[in-house]
């Protein structure tokens, strides 16, 4: 068999495996992923990797096992990344905060792709803020605390807290503008 025929046969085998075993792979991924969209991404990523490596897979005896291993490895990578983000203090930002920063930076918050990439950039930018500014952003965005409550809890004046938030929002907007220029 020539290399072209071998690659064609392997592609057909990958397609057949997807048709015959895709639902089972997806069911497994749904049981282990945090949500259905992530499970589908894991499944599709494994099959895309298989198609990208057709030449190497022509020597694989059990394509289903290879696909399963690719899915499992991708899931483990996601778990590790999520664990590392949690250990580093990464935070989940409410939609309103992302939209407010996007508006400040002059971005269209309705663009889903930009929004997800912007969120990742925003999390990095928040971590880079000076501690007092980072704390006010977190307290207001995540704790939904008002300036009065924060002033009472911290002993810092409301004016100072408002200034810190204003400086933080400007820095975050500038960071996102820089990010968009990259």
pLDDT for position 178: 66
The CATH class given to the 3-87 domain equals: mainly alpha
pLDDT at 28 over 80: yes
Please determine, for residue 90, whether its predicted confidence score (pLDDT) is greater than 60.
Answer: no
pLDDT at position 78, please?
A: 80
The model's confidence at residue 16, banded by pLDDT at 50, 70 and 90, is very high
- Express each pLDDT in 117-165 by its tens digit: 667 777 777 877 888 888 888 787 666 678 888 888 788 898 998 898 8
Domain 95-181 has CATH 1.10.10.10: yes
- List every span in the chain annotated with CATH 1.10.10.10: 95-181
> What per-residue confidence (pLDDT) applies to 143?
64
Structure tokens at 150: 């924060």
Report pLDDT for 7. 80
- Alpha-carbon distance values, 36 to 22, 29, 91, 178 (Å): 14, 8, 22, 33
CA distances from 44 to 11, 51, 158 (A): 15, 11, 51
- Asked if residues 46 and 74 have their Cβ atoms less than 8 Å apart, the reply is yes
Residue ranges, comma separated, of all CATH 1.10.1740 domains in the chain are 3-87
Q: Quote the pLDDT of residue 60.
A: 82
Q: Does 1 score more than 60 pLDDT?
A: no
Q: Which helix (H) or strand (E) holds 66?
A: helix 63-87
């Amino acid at each position: 068999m020539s290399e072209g025929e071998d690659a064609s046969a392997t592609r057909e085998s990958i397609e057949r495996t997807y048709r015959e075993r895709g639902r089972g792979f997806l069911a497994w991924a749904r049981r282990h992923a945090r949500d259905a969209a992530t499970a589908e991404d894991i499944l599709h990523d494994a099959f895309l990797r298989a198609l990208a490596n057709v030449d190497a897979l022509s020597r694989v005896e059990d394509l289903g096992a290879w696909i399963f291993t690719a899915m499992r490895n991708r899931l483990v990578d996601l778990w590790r990344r999520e664990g590392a983000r949690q250990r580093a203090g990464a935070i989940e930002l409410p939609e309103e905060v992302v939209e407010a920063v996007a508006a400040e930076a002059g971005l269209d918050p309705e663009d889903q792709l930009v929004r997800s990439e912007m969120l990742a950039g925003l999390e990095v930018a928040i971590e880079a803020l000076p501690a007092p500014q980072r704390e006010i952003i977190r307290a207001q965005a995540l704790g939904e605390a008002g300036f009065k409550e924060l002033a009472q809890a911290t002993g810092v004046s409301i004016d100072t807290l408002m200034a810190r938030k204003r400086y933080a929002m400007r820095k975050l907007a500038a960071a996102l503008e820089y990010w968009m220029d990259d």
